[in-house]
A and B are shown apart, each in its own frame.
Chain A
Amino acid sequence: MATTEHATFAVERDYKHAPAKVFAAWADPRAKRAWFAEGEGWEIKHFELDFREGGAESSKFRFTKGDETFGEETWFGNDTVFNEIVPNQRIIFTYSMDRNGVRFSVSLGCAEFKPQGAGTRLIFTEHAAFFEGGDGAAMREAGWRELLQKLDDHLTAAN
């Protein structure tokens, strides 16, 4: 029997960098890969980003130290389609997560970039449907908090 759990969460973070710079780190494939996909202990099989409305992002990765948690050779897949891109202001996208080819969630993500002094307030809202064996809202939200921290680290190192 299929089971589905729905959840919504929002994460806010202030950056000292201007909206154009924060937005660019989502739009540029090398920058996005650096904060979104790369990380210690992660092996990336592929990462592709075609940043335009109707364009796709696709990545496949595994946590090399995660065999005890996930079992051996557990590959995760992320497939994203961009619904709306308003430069420097808003990105809306739909994405799915797969584990070894089995879909375990579909989400709607909305990133909003608002000027905050000389910097940016980023508000990320996710509406998610978690399927059988899905990670659930608490883990997903923690994952996004970590990603938005990595985005900060990337912006600070690059600018």
Chain B
Amino acid sequence: MKERASTHATFVIERTYKASPAKVFAAFADAKQKAKWFGGPEEWGPSNHQLDFRVGGKESSSGGPPGGPVHAYNGTIWDLVENERLVISYEMHLDATRISVSLGTTEIQPNGSGSTLTYTEQGAYLDGYDDAGQREEGTRELFNQLERYLDQ
């Protein structure tokens, strides 16, 4: 019997963007826009991103380094407040192994003519395959990619 161990952790990332809350929210809500910034490094290739943006709707994305394991993201949307809040529960798999289940809350607030985005992730990181530090680092990079997309 394989020993199971769960590490529970929370991290918070706060970013400010020049774009208005409506524009930042649209970058999450519109599948075409989200596919442009929500993915792995360029060398991972296309992410097969799918998004059905409604409460109960699903989101998925997968990819990985050439010859390496496939990183698969599968999320479900649990709460939406237009331009203000988005709550997604998601699982990450490395090939067939589930490495985490997380609850991600994205909050968007007006800040001058721009926005403050606060992302809170509360997660169970499983069986030693991942930890909150690595996840926070990867998520920070996603919000950098969002900034580059919004600045275009």
Residues of chain A whose beta carbon lies under 8 Å from any beta carbon of chain B: 1-2, 4, 6, 8, 10, 81, 83-84, 86, 89-90, 92, 94, 96, 103, 106-108, 110, 112, 125, 127-129, 131
Given known A8-B10, A108-B89, A112-B6, contact A129–B81 (CB-CB < 8 A): no
Q: Which residues of A lie under 8 Å from residue B78 when comparing CB positions?
A: 94, 96, 103, 106
CB–CB A83/B6 < 8 A: no
Residue B103 CB within 8 A of the other chain: yes
Please tell me if the beta carbons of B84 and A108 are within 8 angstroms of each other in the complex: no
| Complex Cα gap A127–B87 (Å) | 13
Interface residues of B in 45-94 (CB under 8 A from A): 55, 76, 78-79, 81, 84-85, 87, 89, 91
Query: Which residues of the other chain, A, contact B120 by a CB distance below 8 angstroms?
Result: 4, 6, 129
Kindly state the separation between the CA atoms of A96 and B105 in the bound complex, as whole angstroms.
Answer: 14
B124 x A125 contact (CB < 8 A)? yes
For the A-B complex, the count of residue pairs with Cβ-Cβ distances under 8 Å equals 82
B6 to A90, Cβ gap below 8 A? yes
Would you give the shortest CB distance from A137 to chain B, in whole angstroms? 12
B116 CB to closest chain A CB (Å) equals 13
B contact face: mostly helix, strand, loop, or mixed = strand
B145 CB–A CB distance under 8 Å = no
0/1 interface trace, chain B 114-127, chain A, CB 8 Å (1 if under): 00000010111010
**B98 on the A face (CB < 8 A):** yes
Please, could you name 20 A-B residue pairs with CB atoms under 8 Å apart, sorted by A?
A2-B81, A4-B107, A6-B10, A6-B120, A8-B122, A10-B8, A83-B101, A84-B91, A84-B126, A90-B4, A90-B6, A92-B101, A92-B124, A94-B89, A94-B103, A103-B79, A108-B101, A110-B101, A129-B103, A131-B85
Residues of B with Cβ closer than 8 Å to A? 1, 4, 6, 8, 10, 55, 76, 78-79, 81, 84-85, 87, 89, 91, 98, 101-103, 105, 107, 120, 122-124, 126
Assembled-state Cα–Cα distance A4/B85 (Å) = 9
Q: Are A127 and B103 in contact (CB-based, < 8 A)?
A: yes
Could you tell me if A110 and B76 are in contact, using CB atoms closer than 8 angstroms? no
Interface pair B76/A6, CB less than 8 Å apart: no
Are A110 and B124 in contact (CB-based, < 8 A)? yes
Bound-complex Cα distance A81 to B84 (A): 25
Shortest B70–chain A CB gap in Å is 18
List 6 A-B pairs, minimum CB-CB distance, nearest first: A127-B122, A94-B89, A2-B84, A2-B81, A106-B78, A108-B103
Provide the bound-state CA to CA distance between A107 and B120, in Å: 13
Q: How far is the CB of B99 from chain A (nearest CB, A)?
A: 11
**Measured between alpha carbons, how far is A2 from B124 in the docked complex, in Å?**
26
* Cβ of A49 to closest chain B Cβ, rounded Å: 18
| Interface contact B91-A106, CB-CB below 8 Å | no
Residues of A within 8 A of B91 (CB): 83-84
A36–B124 Cα gap in the complex (Å)? 23
